[in-house]
Structure 1
Amino acid sequence: MDSQDNPAKQARADRPQLSSMRSGSFLSDHQQYRSPLQPDSHAHFGIDTVIEDLQGARLSPPKSFSPFNGVPGKDDPPPRIVEGLSHDFSHPNCAPPRGTASQRIIATLMYKTKSSSPHHHPRLNSSSTSNIPANFAPTTNPDNFPLEAPPAVEPESLDNIYGSYISPMCITSFLHLMSAFPLPKGVTETTSSHRCLDDPEHPLVVELTLSPAPSTDYLSLADLRKHELIYRFEREWNVDVVLQADTLWRRYPRLVVFDMDSTLITQEVIDLLAATITNPPDLAAKVADITHRAMLGELEFDAAFRERVTLLKDLPATIFEQLRPALDVTKGVPQLIKALKKLGIKTAVLSGGFLPLTSWLAKELGIDYAHANEVVISDAGRLTGEVLGRIVGKERKQELLLEIAKKENVPLEQVIAVGDGANDLLMLGTAGLGVAWNAKPLVQMEASARLNGDSLLDLLYLVGFMREEIEMLTI
């Protein structure tokens, strides 16, 4: 009796057999129950597809395999992507060989929102109102004729072409720039990866990891930060470039030290004090000029400060209380201090201003340490024009940073210092990371990092926090 005449035998024949199950799978045998997957460059493969494709695969001709190091060679085929998962094989996250140290470098590119608005470009909106032809002299008087050609117009920023943010072209240009620097001996290529720390569509902050860093035998990190090519790139793309060695200490600071005037607040306190004196009428302008020259490094800070305090003689001591409401705290400072406290990071303000206002502001913001100058007050309750003790200038700020770090048992590699003036340079140079905040030109060039933005909260990007993490810390 054949199978057609025996229903039981027919049923057994229709059952899946063990041998067929061993050679495939239910999903493989029933592809009609899911949509067909076209293996093109944009396809995403499910995990079952990846596993099934490995069944019966053979290598012909056989070849030897080198140990996997996390970065496939340039001739290797592109990796298959598991559905729902992805991996950037260019990311140099593999540990270095045993007995060696990592040589990665972190480059944080931050768009200068303060110096340029995405919606306003002067050259786009400018129009000439002159009726004088371009080939005519600007004057008919030979004595006034210019002896030199007028300065060239500032070249248009590339972000005006590619977008007012950290565009893909900006990142590509930066990687091309970094490829110009010599690599360590024995290394032929650099691997890189990047993270958008704020907005994946139009990021203003992008963190790039390059491995290895340029050879320190040719160019130290300090010299690389000051390199003319980096400076030109910043001007062309309207960004700040912050270069840091990728070390454990970069991600875990334990002490942040701030200057006060033009850093934690937007004003210079001594200028505010001088503005309250109406006689002589030009006093405020004189004090402001001395302040400006001292911040530029043209005058010795200690002597300049004593000279300005002398001009404030006979002001009532109550002036410090009266000025409290006038202090304009820099945008992002309250949120930054709150975030640092949540992270268990100690904070300090080292000010070349006046202790009554510095102590009050530190208490208001929740800053742990406050140091500033103490003025002498007469029995009549007025300023005598003298300063008690040492001036909190550049040397004293450096000493106070070292004292606080020692007291808190914090290595200098885990200290961040932020300031804007020439009297902050020693402090910035002593800390593991010295940040010039909207600083004077000399400080911009000498500091290990520079930020020119609207909010001091941007400081958290330099230690690798993403925007959503910063928002969690500031709630």
Structure 2
Amino acid sequence: MAEQTGASPRQSRPSMTAAMRSSSFLREHQQYRPPHKPENHYGIDTVVEDLQAASISPREISHFKGIPSLENPPKIVESGVSHELSHPNCTPRPGARSQRLVATLFYRSTAPRISNAIPSPKKDPSPARSRSPSLRTAESDIPPTMAPSSSLESFPLEPPTAEPEPLDHLYGSYVSSMCITSFLHLLSTFPLPPGSTDLTSAHRCLKLDAGQGNHPMVVELTVSPAPSVDYLSLADLRKHELIYRFEREWNVDVALRVDNLWRRYPRLVVFDMDSTLITQEVIDLLAATIKDPPDLAARVADITHRAMLGELEFDSAFRERVKLLTGLPGTIFHELRPVLEVTNGVRPLLQALKRLGVKTAVLSGGFLPLTSWLAGELGIDYAHANEVVIDEATGRLTGEVKGRIVGKERKRELLIEIAEKEGIPLEQAVAVGDGANDLLMMKAAGLGVAWNAKPRVQMEASARINGDTLLDLLHLFGFTDEEIQQLAA
């Protein structure tokens, strides 16, 4: 024990330094080693040994404060994942204000565009058709109301503007990645607000098709910042020729909205009835029951069509049509109930709105007996329409209307009255319709939606949906198809 206590300290274990060895077993034992060739890689033992005599000076570490640098955003790169921690479309910096624009792209699968070739590719072309413009227009399935017109006779001073070719035929009959890229490129051509240099974007798919491809049919794009309002207001941007051309090229409808709180939380949704909540025009159904004179139904339908286009003043046109219905039995409104065809998607839409706590109303230029009954069937909170006079002695329509006609001015007034009664700001009100008599209430609401509407209404409304289900309205609020199914269940 004494000998062990007085023994000299034990020597450190001998080891090879970096100069005495390489990191490769093969290089240690090969006969020839290239002179003065630096090692490309050192083993961990070499690194530890060399650091024993080195002095490490502490360096300043900048802590992540939750808002990454725009110039050098933090990145995560591991196991095939590459993610930049930049948040241009999230909450803005303290003291700043977000200027985001939301664009919802609806692919028009129910109304596919055709090529500009006349006659349409669906028809067999012939030399006779190609020589005669009138024959081409008559025998083509291109809609006669398509603008700009393809007939030179309609433009005597200059040739018509060529319509863009449908690019969705090339890149996919859905909202393709090329469609999104094209739209972002379009927006980048508009001036940005002062102090902004880059346009950032994010997108998410809200609805897929029901086929095997699972292609996106509704896509929501968030762009930041929005184009400068000093250069172009949102109302003018919606009507911009480049937006119109993009929609024609890709067969989509583009709904542009400022991304604010009210966009995601509507509290009042007001509907027109004829050709919106139902697929028919009630006054045309009434006229069809009168067989004498035989052309009455066609005359009433023509007046209805012109009034919806805005060519006729609605109030006077309505009185004229009701006058033609003189003599109809008052029970006709009860008899028409089974005939009414509710628009696809209306029932689940109203169920979803009810679960969200949204108030609903129907403001109709039709007839109160049918409007009130339909509102009760669908669970709509408010119903307003015209009341016709029925002779008590004969029980038949006199051809007169009682009180004010629910035309465009009255619809706007009713929308404002309901919103005030419920304590709802107009920014959280939505109006949906298809005719020119719906435009004023659309402008009064925070969002006006044209549903398969007449051309003028499509142009003037804040947003338009041309599809086969009114349930797509919920996509404008940012709901995905999965969320809509949960709400409508």
How high is the TM-score relative to the length of structure 2?
Answer: 0.77
Displacement of 1:448 in angstroms is: 0.7
Q: Which residue of 1 aligns with 2:192?
A: 183
| SS, match of residue 198 in structure 1 | strand
1:421 aligns with 2:435: yes
Q: Which residue of 2 aligns with 1:357?
A: 370
Q: 1:347 to 1:128 in 2, by over 3 A?
A: same
| SS, match of residue 197 in structure 1 | strand
| SS, match of residue 414 in structure 2 | helix
Q: Deviations over 1:73-111 (max 9, x none)?
A: 46x487224669885656533322333432111110110
Contact 1:271/1:284, CA 8 A, preserved across alignment? yes
Contact 1:334/1:365, CA 8 A, preserved across alignment? yes
| SS, match of residue 327 in structure 2 | coil
What is the CA–CA distance in structure 2 between the aligned matches of 1:203 and 1:402, rounded to whole Å?
A: 37
Displacement of 1:222 in angstroms is: 1.0
1:162 aligns with 2:158: no
Q: Which residue of 1 aligns with 2:421?
A: 407
Q: Which residue of 2 aligns with 1:450?
A: 464
Contact 2:164/2:248, CA 8 A, preserved across alignment? no
Amino acid at match of 2:101: I
Q: Which residue of 2 aligns with 1:110?
A: 106
Q: 1:196 to 1:89 in 2, by over 3 A?
A: farther
Output aligned runs, 1:264-343, within 5 Å.
264-343=277-356
Contact 2:76/2:83, CA 8 A, preserved across alignment? no
Displacement of 1:156 in angstroms is: 3.2
Amino acid at match of 1:329: V
| SS, match of residue 191 in structure 2 | coil
| SS, match of residue 192 in structure 2 | coil
Displacement of 1:352 in angstroms is: 0.2
Displacement of 1:132 in angstroms is: 4.8
Output aligned runs, 1:62-211, within 5 Å.
70=67, 73=70, 76=72, 79-81=75-77, 89=85, 92-116=88-112, 126-132=122-128, 155-199=164-208, 201-211=214-224
Q: Which residue of 2 aligns with 1:49?
A: none
Contact 2:73/2:85, CA 8 A, preserved across alignment? no
| SS, match of residue 208 in structure 1 | strand
What is the CA–CA distance in structure 2 between the aligned matches of 1:400 and 1:151, rounded to whole Å?
A: 43
Displacement of 1:414 in angstroms is: 0.5
Amino acid at match of 1:179: S
Contact 1:196/1:205, CA 8 A, preserved across alignment? yes
Consecutive unaligned residues in structure 2, runs of 5 or more: 1-55, 135-151
Contact 1:166/1:206, CA 8 A, preserved across alignment? yes
Amino acid at match of 2:434: D
Q: Deviations over 1:141-194 (max 9, x none)?
A: xxxxx9779978854311000001000000000000000111000111111100
Q: 1:409 to 1:138 in 2, by over 3 A?
A: closer
Q: Deviations over 1:233-255 (max 9, x none)?
A: 11110101001111011111000
Q: 1:151 to 1:105 in 2, by over 3 A?
A: closer
Q: 1:244 to 1:151 in 2, by over 3 A?
A: closer
Q: Which residue of 2 aligns with 1:371?
A: 384
Amino acid at match of 1:182: P
Q: Comparing 322-331 with 96-105, which one deviates more in the overlay?
A: 96-105
Q: 1:88 to 1:208 in 2, by over 3 A?
A: farther
Q: 1:80 to 1:404 in 2, by over 3 A?
A: same
Displacement of 1:435 in angstroms is: 0.3
Output aligned runs, 1:17-96, within 5 Å.
70=67, 73=70, 76=72, 79-81=75-77, 89=85, 92-96=88-92
Amino acid at match of 1:98: P
Contact 1:72/1:89, CA 8 A, preserved across alignment? no
| SS, match of residue 336 in structure 2 | helix
Contact 2:443/2:461, CA 8 A, preserved across alignment? yes
Q: Deviations over 1:12-51 (max 9, x none)?
A: xxxxxxxxxxxxxxxxxxxxxxxxxxxxxxxxxxxxxxxx
Contact 2:278/2:342, CA 8 A, preserved across alignment? yes
Contact 1:90/1:191, CA 8 A, preserved across alignment? no
Q: Which residue of 2 aligns with 1:472?
A: 486
Output aligned runs, 1:223-234, within 5 Å.
223-234=236-247
What is the CA–CA distance in structure 2 between the aligned matches of 1:79 and 1:123, rounded to whole Å?
A: 55
Displacement of 1:436 in angstroms is: 0.5
Contact 1:90/1:192, CA 8 A, preserved across alignment? no
Q: Which residue of 2 aligns with 1:248?
A: 261
What is the CA–CA distance in structure 1 between the aligned matches of 2:129 and 2:474, rounded to whole Å?
A: 52
Q: 1:88 to 1:262 in 2, by over 3 A?
A: farther
| SS, match of residue 416 in structure 2 | helix
Displacement of 1:65 in angstroms is: 6.5
What is the CA–CA distance in structure 2 between the aligned matches of 1:155 and 1:93, rounded to whole Å?
A: 32
Q: Which residue of 1 aligns with 2:19?
A: none
What is the CA–CA distance in structure 1 between the aligned matches of 2:398 and 2:284, rounded to whole Å?
A: 17
Q: 1:77 to 1:95 in 2, by over 3 A?
A: closer
- Which of these two proteins has the greater Rg computed from alpha carbons? 2
Could you tell me the percent identity over the aligned residues?
A: 68
Q: Deviations over 1:422-461 (max 9, x none)?
A: 0000000000000011111111111111111110000000
Q: 1:392 to 1:77 in 2, by over 3 A?
A: closer
What is the CA–CA distance in structure 1 between the aligned matches of 2:129 and 2:242, rounded to whole Å?
A: 38
Q: Which residue of 2 aligns with 1:21?
A: none
Q: 1:228 to 1:155 in 2, by over 3 A?
A: closer
How high is the TM-score relative to the length of structure 1?
Answer: 0.79
Contact 1:261/1:353, CA 8 A, preserved across alignment? yes
| Alignment root-mean-square deviation, CA | 3.0
What is the CA–CA distance in structure 2 between the aligned matches of 1:66 and 1:451, rounded to whole Å?
A: 48
What is the CA–CA distance in structure 1 between the aligned matches of 2:266 and 2:448, rounded to whole Å?
A: 12
| SS, match of residue 434 in structure 1 | strand
| SS, match of residue 298 in structure 1 | coil
Amino acid at match of 1:461: H
What is the CA–CA distance in structure 2 between the aligned matches of 1:371 and 1:84, rounded to whole Å?
A: 60
1:383 aligns with 2:397: yes
Amino acid at match of 1:94: C
Displacement of 1:114 in angstroms is: 2.1
Amino acid at match of 2:255: V
| SS, match of residue 208 in structure 2 | coil
Consecutive unaligned residues in structure 1, runs of 5 or more: 1-58, 140-145
